[in-house]
Structure 1
Amino acid sequence: MFIGIDHGTTGIRFASTDGSWFELSRRQARDMSQERIVSTMLESLHTTKNDIELIALTYSMGDGISRITPIDKVENRGIISREGAGVHIGGGTNVYDAIASSGIPAVVIPGIHRHNYGHPCFRVYSHGASPEKLGIAYNAYMSAGDRDFIVSDISSNTVTMGVQGLKLLGAIDACIFAPGVHHGPLDLQAIRDVDDGLMTANDAFSTAGVTKLIPYKDLNALQAALEKNDQDALWAFDAIAVFAAMEVASFLMLIPDAIVFVAGSVGSMGLVVNRMSGLLKKDVIVLGKLSAAIGLAQIARGVHGGKKDILGITVE
């Protein structure tokens, strides 16, 4: 069996190549002992330590490594610093340390950043995507085969990637372009607020999604309002879809014949998919919110089978 662990914004998802999966909230994972995390994983995925061939694990930005690396060779959990984009709770740290001390073979997946972009122009951005996005891209590859493709992951934030000739060209991170539910780029007002000391840059990023302008502050509340045809909710999902489609369209300039995939909790919504498809005049294929964890398990299987690179990312 091969397992993928997706350290996402709202939770930590575990999936196996046998089709099992489960999720822990980041606070649940923070408050569990490391032994309990491992035993819960084994129980929930109906397996034993001896039956696990390899785990592919993600952690935070993944910007401290550029290659897919055995966990015992990774320093500082594969990151430059815990400071930066996003909220630190501690669940991902606890899960990483639990796997590292478990004795189960594991590799750590890097983020997509300045030192491993496939297209030189993307080097203008220090960071393009956190490591679980490589899992989503690989899950898309398993559907697309040798075809070029673009995949947009849309949930708390929006990140879009392009793959040409089985090589990941780069990614447009959440702090650069399209907003998600919670996160988004710093606009002029946010920059002024940071300069005036009203908030940190990370706080500004973490509150720059569509919810900054409406009374609904999380996805569940937004979806409940949508069922009542609330105008704020309709605007929020339309805005997300329009900007996500614009990100995809920017990659279509580089990869005009690409297949388009979407993933994530918002990317799986029919309203968003249909709006994007209409704007792009292309079919949009839904991967679902588990695609990162599933794709990471598929990466683990590929690495164990001897693959030397995953979509252009070197395996150490």
Structure 2
Amino acid sequence: MFAGIDHSTTGVKTCLLSEDGSREVFTIERSPDEDGDWSYIETLREHVNPNDIEMVSYGYSYGDNIDGIVDISETQNRGIVDTLGLGHEFGTGTLVYDQLQQSDIPTTVFPGIHDGLDTIHPYFCHYSPLTGADKFATARYAQEVVQNDDIGPEIDGDTFVAANVSSSAMASYVDEGALRGAFHWIGLIHGWGDVECLRQIRNDEQDLQDAFMKSGLLCRSDYDFEDVKGVPSEELLEIVYCATLHNVYSLVPFTEHLGSGLDAVILSGRLSRVEEPFDVRGRLSEDLSNVGTVHVCQEKSTALGAALVARDVARGDSETLGVPIEFNEADTSSKVTSTNV
């Protein structure tokens, strides 16, 4: 049994993946701050015997303080430099991380996409981090789709863009199996700060701590955070559609001139499947079809991607998506078989 954890904007999602490919995903949507006795391990126990878990893999926040997939016991500050700009330093994801670090369950942590990784061009090292660790897991599931005809279309090649279409809008480029770059311009929740953001901080109208959270489309359009839950309005969905096009097409010149081209565009995130009141799925599938085969992922695919990382580690792989695996536990590869997911 392998477990993958997606530390997303709307909740902490855990995917339990069996060796036969069957899976279960559960989500912790509440913040347990008010309950000091809350235990992730006990919540996990409601779904599986922790002794049956061969490996857990978790990506926390930016993930910008590690360059490989490492044992959680070896991480400092939860594998991040800090949470500057994200507005909060304590919550469900933090409790899950700390309790796993203190437990006996074998756990690895994978990085976000940042300037410590080997990108296709130094251009991708100007901003760091480029995306959070959850997008690493998204790319890992997208790789499984590209390589496995049983769960996706027949795709000839291993070069693709994995685009997230949700409360965050980001796109990552995987060239011949290695993660080589990513773009995040603006999304519903997060955005890079601009001159107006700097002015607001200067004038004490905004806190530096939550600068990225206040630079996204929701805040700039006078929407509330709650508006991202459920199915957003037609206006917001159309903006998410535009943001996804922006991210994907921004990567295309690099795939053509520096990489080995583009075989597929893999769309994930809950808004990628929305068809009403704005047909995000249909419009993106049509408008991106000229750059590669388009596939829309199943629900909660990022958590499943994290579970696939756990499986990679358990079977003794040396790397995942070109990122080195530095977990040195006793060899468990004999227990692990390839499965269709």
Shorter-chain TM-score tier:
0.7 to 0.9
Match of 2:161 among 150, 156, 173: 150
197, 200, 203: which one pairs with 2:210? Answer: 203
User: Does residue 43 of structure 1 match 2:46?
Assistant: yes
Specify which of 281, 297, 300 is matched with residue 307 of structure 2.
297
> Which residue matches 2:274?
269
Q: Which amino acid aligns with 1:120?
A: H
List gaps (5 residues or longer) in structure 1.
Answer: 227-232
> SS of the counterpart of 2:162?
strand
Per the alignment, do residues 84 and 214 of structure 1 end up closer, same or farther by CA in structure 2, a change over 3 Å counting? closer
CA deviation after TM superposition for structure 1 residue 190, in Å: 2.4
Q: Please list the CA deviations of residues 243-263 of structure 1 after superposition, one character each: whole Å capped at 9, or x if unmatched.
A: 211210121222242311111
Query: CA RMSD for the aligned pairs?
Result: 2.2
CA offsets 1:154-212 (integer angstroms, 9 cap, x no match): 22221210101111011113xxx1x3222223233323222333112443421233323
Count of residue pairs the alignment pairs up: 302
Residue in 2 that maps onto 1:243: 243
Alpha-carbon displacement from aligned partner over 1:75-112 (angstroms, at most 9, x marks no partner): 22111123333433421111111111220111111111
The SS at the match of 1:253 is: helix
TM-score, scaled relative to structure 2: 0.81
Deviation at 1:276, TM superposition (A): 2.3
For residues 221 and 155 of structure 1, what CA distance do their matches in structure 2 show? 9
Please report how far the alpha carbon of residue 265 of structure 1 lies from its aligned counterpart in structure 2 after TM superposition. 2.1
What's the TM-score, normalizing by structure 1? 0.87
Residue 179 of structure 2 aligns to which amino acid in structure 1? L
Matched residues in 2 for 1:77 and 1:187: separation?
A: 28
Quick one: which amino acid aligns to residue 155 of structure 1? S
The amino acid across from 1:157 in the alignment is S
CA contact (8 A) 1:38 1:98 kept: yes
Name the residue aligned to 1:25. Answer: 29
Q: Is 1:253 aligned to 2:253, yes or no? A: yes
Alignment of 1:122-133 (within 5 A): 122-133=124-135
1:105 corresponds to: 106
**Cα distance between partner residues in 1 of 2:145 and 2:228:** 33
Using the aligned pairs only, state the percent identity: 29
Q: Greater share of helix residues, 1 or 2? A: 1
Over 3 Å counting, the alpha-carbon distance change for 1:258 and 1:166 in structure 2 is: same
Does 2:321 correspond to 1:311? yes
- For residues 274-308 of structure 1, what are the alpha-carbon distances to aligned partners after superposition, in whole Å with 9 as ceiling and x for unaligned? 22233334453212441111011111111111111
- In structure 2, C-alpha distance between the alignment counterparts of 1:157 and 1:57, rounded to whole Å: 18
- Runs of 5+ consecutive residues of structure 2 not aligned to the other structure: 148-156, 256-260, 327-341
